[in-house]
Amino acid sequence: MPSDDRHLVDKVQQVIEESDFGWSLHLIAEDPTLKLATLIDDLTRRPSDTGDGKLITSGFAYWGTAPTIAWSLACNDNFYPVMQQSIESFSGRWKRLRSKLNGVPYHYVSLGVGTGHKDRQILQDLLAVQENLLYLPVDLSAAMLRIGLRESVKGLSIPHRHVLPMQLDFAIRQNIAELRALLQRFVGDEPILFSLLGNTLANFDDDVELLHTLTGVLRPQDRFLLEVATTDTLDDDLAGAAAEEYHRSRAFQEFVTSALMMYTDLTINMDAVLYRGSVEHDRSLLVKVIYQNRTGADLRFMLPDRTKVAFPDRDTIRLLLSRKYSRRGLDKMLAAIGIQKLQGIHSGFTQQRSPRVFGTDLLLLAAGDREQVPEQRASKADEIWSSFRS
């Protein structure tokens, strides 16, 4: 970097360090117009009365200020045990697992910063070993980065110049390749701890493919922290109970409809928000949250680009997808993508409203023997990806 450019960067960092205003530098890797086009495409899909047509995918459910605030409120709702108890029990599970890091000085990459509470606990321990730690929180939502980051560094002695928020869709394979290349330039061969917390994995249709992509960046010295909701048993009654967990929370209902309110002109009727649970083969309880036109008449709604979309009677928009994994199914998934499980810590739900077989697992993963993925036409990003996997 030319000396003048380096001086400018140093000056910006100095101004941020000395200011009480709350400035932060973000790397923005997403084109909002392209993201909006993707959202519009998803909301103009074919009619379906089962939630398999129009949809709002995981990242877009949190995209924007209103959904981010609604999510933060839902995470503090006692009637939403999936997240509320996940946050409350995280400290104990993390303390039992962190010894497996063996005092190694790690940098930290948080894939989906969430409310920031869990990242703060992790950072506090990592900073005790690595005072020059680089903290890189990653999220598609700029609002989520801002709110989560404020909580994650609260009370910690970490310089602003060591915190680099990145607005990036980590569900895209090419983006992860670029992230890996960026990290190589920043920290070289120094170990990195990656995390995907809060049952985020369960919100993706192609969850196995996503985990395969994210863990594909791991080198022998790196580690990956994965948190998922779990169940001891798979049956239709428990699938219904899993769906009911979400249904009980008014705050969750307000969150799950917030993106629909933000990106369409539909008048939201909470009675039209439906929760459907099913058994997904032998690996998980699958929950779909859908919004259904139950007016008895065909409707139309408008999207941000002024497109008018037909919304026939009984048609649906899928608002959220989630899962509770069986431990056996989870182990099979990890084995299939060639990842080592170094440690797993389980915490069961304590609320009487939730079946005792439900809980949360925190897993520490490491690189292993990767299975061969089907060959695809190679792009430049694919070549970069392959270079980091080899």
For residue range 181-198, list pLDDT tens digits in order. 999 999 999 999 999 999
Q: If pLDDT is split at 50, 70 and 90, which confidence band does 288 have?
A: very high
pLDDT at 350 over 70: no
Instruction: Tell me the pTM.
Output: 0.88
Q: What's the pLDDT at 384?
A: 32
pLDDT at 176 over 80: yes
Domains of the chain: 42-390 (3.40.50.150)
For residue range 296-349, list pLDDT tens digits in order. 999 999 999 999 999 999 999 999 999 999 989 999 999 999 999 999 999 887
Report the pLDDT averaged over residues 283-304: 97
Q: If pLDDT is split at 50, 70 and 90, which confidence band does 61 have?
A: confident
Q: If pLDDT is split at 50, 70 and 90, which confidence band does 389 have?
A: very low
For residue range 135-173, list pLDDT tens digits in order. 999 999 888 998 999 999 999 988 888 999 999 999 999
Report the pLDDT averaged over residues 356-380: 67
Q: If pLDDT is split at 50, 70 and 90, which confidence band does 26 have?
A: confident
Q: Burial-class residue 231 by CB neighbours within 10 Å (0-12, 13-18, 19+).
A: buried
Residues of the chain with pLDDT > 90, as a percent, come to 66
Report the pLDDT averaged over residues 240-249: 90
| Higher pLDDT among residues 233 and 160, named by residue | 233
Taking all residues of the chain, what is their mean pLDDT, rounded to a whole number? Answer: 87
Q: What's the pLDDT at 1?
A: 46
